[in-house]
Amino acid sequence: SVSPAAATSILKRQKQLGRKNVRFDQVTVYYFARRQGFTSVPSQGGSSLGMAQRHNSVRRYTLCEFAQEQEVNHREILREHLKEEKLHAKKMKLTKNGTVESEEADGLTLEDVSDDDIDVENVEVDDYFFLQPLPTKRRRALLRASGVHRIDAEEKQELRAIRLSREECGCDCRLYCDPEACACSQAGIKCQ
């Protein structure tokens, strides 16, 4: 038989184990300069983005400060994205959806989109925010602004070859698989 004192001590021990929680009170953010990446394959042409090997600054936030900082950053990214969408819509209107040439459309830039045309306040940032692919020109501009003077053009060709190779997957089998001629079978995978 178990004495009541022994049962109590087991319960206390379980309660003590349950009270151990991990709590975070601050966020440390390391900032890195932008560099040419050489590690990813952007969906569009041009160079990939990367970061320097060592951080150039560190900033510490409380959880509340970090949440506010993220909100401000996400709103700014959203503002830029909405401006790009508005610019694209203006160009499409001027070129009748790309069917006619328009010097006016060719000359439009993000500066031609007024902040008054953008309504960021009525968009829920958390619902909308996600990483957007950057166009080739924008990636080049970011690299130049970060002090990258020589962008390795060889990477552009390598990335293009990778994108093309990803389009060609599977085999040429139709209706039935001939293991002698099937590229998938020869590679040791199920016929695609």
**pLDDT band, residue 182 (cuts 50/70/90):** confident
Structural domain includes residue 107: yes
Structural domain includes residue 4: no
Residue 91 CB neighbours (<10 A): 17
Structural domain includes residue 63: yes
* Max CA distance (Å), the chain: 94
Which of 15-19, 40-44, 142-146, 179-183 has the least mean pLDDT? 15-19
Structural domain includes residue 128: yes
Structural domain includes residue 19: no
Judged against a pLDDT cut of 80, whether residue 41 lies above it is answered with: yes
pLDDT of 45: 81
- The pTM assigned to this predicted structure is 0.58
The DSSP symbol for 181 reads T
49 or 3, higher pLDDT: 49
Contact criterion met (CB below 8 Å) for 36 and 159:
no
Per-residue pLDDT of 112-133, as tens digits, reads 887 777 777 777 766 665 667 7
Backbone dihedral angles phi then psi of residue 137, each to the nearest 5 degrees: -60, -40
Judged against a pLDDT cut of 70, whether residue 62 lies above it is answered with: yes
Structural domain includes residue 182: no
**pLDDT band, residue 53 (cuts 50/70/90):** very high
Q: Which amino acid appears at position 118 of this protein?
A: I
The DSSP symbol for 5 reads H
Structural domain includes residue 181: no
Residues spanned by the domain of 30? 26-152
Structural tokens at position 104: 């006016």
Count: domains in the chain: 1
Residues 6+ apart with CB under 8 A from 63: 24, 25, 26, 27
Structural domain includes residue 186: no
